[in-house]
Structure 1
Amino acid sequence: MGIFEKEWTLNFTQCYPNGQLKYSELNNILQVTASEHAEEIGFGYKAMLGVHQSWVLSRMLMEIKRLPKYTQQVKVRTWIQDFTGSRSIRNFQLVMGDEVLVSATSLWVVFNIAKRRADVLALNTDHMEYFRDMHSTMKETEKIDGIVDFQPLGQHRVKLSDLDIVNHANNVKYMEWVFDAMDPKIILASTIRTLEMNFLKELGYGDEIHIDQFKAADDRETYAIQKDGRLHFLMRLTR
């Protein structure tokens, strides 16, 4: 199936106190939908594990019209725009009825679990279907500038609950750590219109990280997660 859809009914654990879907949960349901699509077309976790590989998220861009709320039913639509052997561009739409609430695009990299580095996909891709002219966002994912004057915002030690099945901190957790360090008024106001993320390096159990912030003159805010002075994650938002 080239275009995959999954319906979601939002539960209370996925929502903020104001009833709206959490930004990190938005990321999560997009990725779970992508995972189920990958399973269906033969590139899921079990198939990849057989060749000692996994998909890891490298970049994501979300353009948010508005967030759905508790108990509302939404549908996530996803498709592969392109694949180059080691990297894949996957697009998303989160819709309610006929309205597109969120559009997103993402860049995924094939990851060798044993060598802990990027790799060329070892599985056959002859049956893969691409939609190269079917874009979901106004622009593509891009490299976020991490050479700026960051100011300290918070700290975190990676816990067991942060790890996923690949034995590193799940990328959704990176978002949670940043949002937990931010002023909750910004988040609950639901005024964030774009979220861009670069996942640069993996983190493991017990790692001590620093969360930093930079506010640019153009009202864009950049957040960083660093360990021992090295960037592991960048997130840029506009409101």
Structure 2
Amino acid sequence: MAGYFEKEWTLNFTQCYANGQLKYSELNNILQITASEHAVILGFGARTMLKHKQSWVLSRMLIQIKRLPRFEQTLTIRTWIQDFSGSRSTRNFEVILGEHVVATASSLWAVFNVEARKAEALAVSTEHAVILPDMHSTPRPVQRIDGLCDFQKLKDYQVVLSDLDIAGHANNVKYMDWCFDALDPKYVLSQQITEIEMNFLRELTYGNQVSIHKGVGAHGSDTYNISRNEKIHFLMHVANKQA
């Protein structure tokens, strides 16, 4: 169907936890890679954007999970663009396993000038792209997370070389890993998580010292932040089955 792009993924052992289930950060990763490949086909992929000193950066992501795929299973990621407006774009996803949608996601992206290090209007034409404004993937749009809660520090961390991507900053997938690595593995592997919402607020670069915090909410939901010099760079809200 016009406007949709699909990519198959067969999960390998590097993408899965020790219990065989797909890592939450890898789910985020394959969604973004699929989006990137669709953008290339549409004419505003990474190489084209860099000619204009621009890059797409993920601003917000909402992932809702019915169940996680497992090692060696083949899944299909379906993605489409719901909205373009100046320097921002909304892109949606479905994760399909067999005949069932096992997860959905909605994301908000910003056009980022890699030299000025700030958002700006897209320099590439999008006239040929099919926009599907009425096709939602999640019951609600991705939102701004309320970070006004009592946080307790879980651990400190220093950004290392392997955290960086081609844009020269810590890849947003790493933010998820840092938070989940600070938690009890039994909880992460329990498959209790039904929703992950993330706000990417500020970039981090090599050598930055950060602190990872957790704030406990009501009804089985938790909020995490990654902060540097008392400024929040990342917020993540996690909802559990008992919520």
Structure 2 distance, partners of 1:236, 1:122, is 33
Paired-residue identity, %: 57
Give how far 1:138 is off.
Answer: 1.0
Structure 2 distance, partners of 1:124, 1:75, is 28
SS in 1 for 2:139: coil
Give how far 1:32 is off.
Answer: 0.4
Structure 1: where are the runs of 5+ without partners? none
Match of 2:72 in 1: 71
Q: In the TM superposition, what are the counterparts of 1:16-165 in structure 2 within 5 Å?
A: 16-165=17-166
Deviations 1:17-43 (A, max 9, x none): 110000000000000000000001001
Structure 1 distance, partners of 2:92, 2:126, is 18
The 10-residue stretch of structure 1 (192-201 or 140-149) with the greater mean CA deviation from structure 2: 140-149
TM-score, structure 2 as length reference: 0.97
Deviations 1:164-217 (A, max 9, x none): 000000000000000000111111101100000000000000000000000012
Structure 2 distance, partners of 1:217, 1:188, is 21
Give how far 1:218 is off.
Answer: 2.6
Q: Which amino acid aligns with 1:69?
A: R
Confirm or deny that 1:211 pairs with 2:212.
yes
Structure 2: where are the runs of 5+ without partners? none
Q: Which amino acid aligns with 1:4?
A: F
Give how far 1:128 is off.
Answer: 1.5
SS in 2 for 1:43: coil
Give how far 1:62 is off.
Answer: 0.5
In the alignment of these two chains, the number of paired residues is: 239
Q: Which amino acid aligns with 2:9?
A: W
Deviations 1:78-105 (A, max 9, x none): 0000000110000000101110011000
Deviations 1:46-69 (A, max 9, x none): 000000000000000011000000
Q: Which amino acid aligns with 1:238?
A: A
Give how far 1:153 is off.
Answer: 0.5
Structure 2 distance, partners of 1:218, 1:227, is 29
RMSD: 0.7
Deviations 1:70-127 (A, max 9, x none): 0000000000000001100000001011100110000000000010001100111111
Q: Which amino acid aligns with 1:21?
A: L
